[in-house]
């Protein structure tokens, strides 16, 4: 890789990636349940290849920063799934939460850790459970997003995907203009199907929940929305030795309500939002069995590797380093 490229986005010095891997994946338990009856969170499953969806997300993040600045937010009760994974990132960058209290906590705790290490950080936030058929197209948009945040550090830049159906399980973004990057006119999280159709008719795109932001600017938005939570967690991160933080964090999480970042923060922050339209890249959030099956069918049509089993929906259950036959099929 050339020195010029490294100085642009690959090793810009303050580019960080945060991968969210603490979700339960409850809607996909019919596909991810093992013979023992235990359902595997989908981020630790695979679509028929050797690595998990979480491994795919780490690879995606490596296109905008170095492994030393890739962090992964996990849940302590998923330790059986993540503790043996080789993600090729520093051990301190695997940030375990005492429990799952929603995406706000899942972003805030790693954000505070990152800013403690690097006060000038810019962040790319990525879910760990997405499928993308054309990673090169998405990679170009990820790099554009990080460059845009460096130029315009205020606000939150969302990556929007072309909506090809009125799916009430996704969020929708309506831009102010047809420009590739635009201010946001409307942001609606999980509308009903009729409203989703109206939003698409007005040019609405899906909220991928991939976004970029300046770290300090993002923290200020948290301070406005949940100041007490920020104060408690910031004190623990800054003042308590890392080895002693988990019990203190568990106390905070235990008395905290679940806070959804899209619904409770983004939807109430329209003035801070901008959207970057991502060209068609074969994106899916794999949020429902229906979308998993659609994705597998797309892989069947596009991939020459059909003979290896990529078209079988039960392949979603395959875990990196495990034998598929050990698990029940869908």
- Rounded CA-CA distance 46/317 in Å is 6
At a CB cut-off of 8 Å and minimum separation 6, what does 48 contact?
299, 308, 309, 310, 312, 315, 316, 318
**In angstroms, rounded to a whole number, what is the distance separating the alpha carbons of residues 281 and 272?**
26
* The predicted structure's pLDDT at residue 324: 33
Question: What is the structure's pLDDT at 310?
Answer: 47
CA dihedral 288, 294, 299, 302 (to 10 degrees): -150
Res. 327: pLDDT tops 80: no
Residue 32 predicted with pLDDT over 90? no
How long, in residues, is the chain?
330
Residue found by looking up tokens 């074969």 in the block: 282
pLDDT digits (tens, 9 = 90+) for 202-256: 999 999 999 999 999 999 999 999 999 999 999 999 999 988 999 999 999 999 9
Residue 58 binned pLDDT confidence (cut-offs 50, 70, 90)? very high
User: Distance between the two ends of the chain, CA-based, in angstroms?
Assistant: 43
Q: What is the pTM of this model?
A: 0.88
Residue 53's nearest CA partner among 134, 133, 130 is: 130
Q: State pLDDT tens for residues 87-98.
A: 999 999 999 999
38 pLDDT more than 90: no
Query: pLDDT for 297-321, tens place per residue?
Result: 887 776 554 454 444 444 455 543 3
Give all domains of the chain, ordered by start, each with its CATH number. 3-155+209-259+288-326 (3.90.550.10)
């Amino acid at each position: 890789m050339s020195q010029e490229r490294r100085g642009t986005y690959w090793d810009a010095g303050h580019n960080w990636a945060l991968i969210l891997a603490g979700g339960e994946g409850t809607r996909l338990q019919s596909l991810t349940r093992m013979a023992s009856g235990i359902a595997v969170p989908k981020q630790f499953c695979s679509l028929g290849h050797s690595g998990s969806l979480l491994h795919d997300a780490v690879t995606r993040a490596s296109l905008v920063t170095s492994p030393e600045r890739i962090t992964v937010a996990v849940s302590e009760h998923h330790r059986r799934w993540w503790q043996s994974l080789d993600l090729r990132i520093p051990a301190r960058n695997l940030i375990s939460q005492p429990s799952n209290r929603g995406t706000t906590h899942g972003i805030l705790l790693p954000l505070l850790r990152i800013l403690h290490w690097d006060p000038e950080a810019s962040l790319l936030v990525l879910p760990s459970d997405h499928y993308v058929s054309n990673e090169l197209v998405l990679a170009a948009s990820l790099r554009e997003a990080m460059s845009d945040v460096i130029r315009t550090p205020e606000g939150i830049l969302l990556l929007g995907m072309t909506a090809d159906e009125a799916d009430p399980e996704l969020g929708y973004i309506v831009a102010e203009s047809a420009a590739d990057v635009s201010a946001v006119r409307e942001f609606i999280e999980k509308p009903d199907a009729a409203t989703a159709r109206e939003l698409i008719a007005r040019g609405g795109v899906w909220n991928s929940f991939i976004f970029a932001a300046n770290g300090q600017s993002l923290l200020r938005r948290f301070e406005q929305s949940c100041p007490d939570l920020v104060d408690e967690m910031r004190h623990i991160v800054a003042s308590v030795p890392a080895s002693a933080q988990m019990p203190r964090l568990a106390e905070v999480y235990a008395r905290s309500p679940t806070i959804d970042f899209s619904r409770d923060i983004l939807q109430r922050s329209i003035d801070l939002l901008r959207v970057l339209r991502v060209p068609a890249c074969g994106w899916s959030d794999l949020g429902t069995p229906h979308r998993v099956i659609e994705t597998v069918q797309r892989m069947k049509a596009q991939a020459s590797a059909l003979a290896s089993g990529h078209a079988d929906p039960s392949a979603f259950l395959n875990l990196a380093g495990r034998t598929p036959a050990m698990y029940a099929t869908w």
